[in-house]
C-alpha cells in the first residue's frame, strides 16, 4: 500500500496516461475508481485490472456530483483533458473552445469540489493534477495553454488552501507524451504524424511512475510540481517571423 492510501480515483482513465496510472495504482494495491466516457474501453480496463469503472462525461456537472459525491477517495488524479482548437485561437470553432475549457478547467474544479471535502474531513488524501509544460511556458496553442495555465495556478493556490489539512497536492507537467492526444486535438493526419515522430516521446508509463513517486514520499513531504520532459525536447527561446 502507498502511504496507507486505500482508494483512488482517476479521470480520463480509458487510454493513455490515465490508463497507465490506473494500471500502476491497482498494481500497488489500491482500489481504483476509473472515470471515462468510453464504456467499452473502460470495461476492458476493469476486466484487466479490477478497477471500478464509472462511465461519465465530466462536462455533465449534475452526473459528476451524483457519481463522485458518495465515493471515499484517498488519491485523486485529475487527468481528463483534451486539446481541441489546438492550432490557433482565431481559427478555433466556438464548440472546440467550449469543449476544451469545460473539460480541462471547469470539470477539474468540480471534481475537486466533489472529492476534496471528504479528504479534508478524514485528514487523509493526495490530489494530483496532470498539467502540461504548455501551462508553464508560452508555446503555440493559446486555448490549450490557457487551460493548462489555469490548472497550474489552481494547483498552486490549492497548496495554500490545504495547509493545515494534512492533504497533499501535486501538479505533474509533462512535455510531449505518446498518446491519442494529438489524434483528437489535430485533424490533419500529417500534422499528427509530425508531432509524434519527430523524436522519442515520453510514454504514459513515465507519467504513471512520476505519480507513484509523489505518492510514495513520506507524509511530511509534498511534491509541489514535477516538470518531466523527453530528453530531446526543451522549451525556451523566441520566434521571429516576417509579416506576411
CA angle 229, 232, 238 (to 5 degrees): 85
φ, ψ at 175 (rounded to 5°): -80, -145
- Cβ neighbours of residue 99 closer than 8 Å, sequence gap 6 or more: 59, 82, 84
- Cβ neighbours of residue 196 closer than 8 Å, sequence gap 6 or more: 178, 182
Catalytic residue (one of 5, 65, 137, 144): 144
- Cβ neighbours of residue 35 closer than 8 Å, sequence gap 6 or more: 9, 10, 11, 12, 13, 54, 56, 58, 67, 68, 80
Active site residue 144: yes
Active site residues: 144
Amino acid at each position: 500500500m502507498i502511504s496507507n492510501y486505500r482508494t483512488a480515483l482517476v479521470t480520463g482513465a480509458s487510454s493513455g496516461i490515465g490508463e497507465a496510472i490506473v494500471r500502476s495504482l491497482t498494481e500497488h494495491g489500491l482500489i481504483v475508481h476509473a472515470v471515462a466516457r468510453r464504456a467499452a474501453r473502460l470495461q476492458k480496463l476493469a476486466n484487466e485490472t479490477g478497477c471500478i469503472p464509472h462511465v461519465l462525461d465530466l462536462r455533465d456537472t449534475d452526473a459528476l456530483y451524483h457519481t463522485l459525491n458518495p465515493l471515499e477517495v484517498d488519491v485523486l488524479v485529475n487527468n481528463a483533458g483534451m486539446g481541441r482548437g489546438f492550432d490557433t485561437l482565431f481559427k478555433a470553432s466556438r464548440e472546440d473552445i467550449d469543449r476544451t475549457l469545460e473539460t480541462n478547467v471547469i470539470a477539474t474544479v468540480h471534481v475537486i469540489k466533489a472529492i476534496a471535502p471528504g479528504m479534508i474531513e478524514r485528514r487523509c488524501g493526495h490530489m494530483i493534477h496532470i498539467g502540461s509544460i504548455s501551462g508553464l511556458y508560452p508555446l503555440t496553442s493559446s486555448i490549450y495553454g490557457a487551460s493548462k495555465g489555469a490548472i497550474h495556478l489552481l494547483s498552486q493556490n490549492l497548496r495554500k488552501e490545504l495547509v493545515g489539512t494534512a492533504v497533499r497536492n501535486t501538479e505533474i507537467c509533462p512535455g510531449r507524451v505518446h498518446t491519442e492526444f494529438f489524434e483528437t486535438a489535430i485533424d490533419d493526419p500529417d500534422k499528427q504524424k509530425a508531432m509524434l515522430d519527430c523524436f522519442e516521446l515520453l510514454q504514459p508509463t513515465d507519467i504513471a511512475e512520476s505519480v507513484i513517486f509523489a505518492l510514495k514520499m513520506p507524509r511530511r513531504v509534498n511534491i509541489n510540481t514535477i516538470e518531466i520532459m523527453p530528453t530531446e525536447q526543451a522549451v525556451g527561446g523566441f520566434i521571429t517571423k516576417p509579416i506576411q
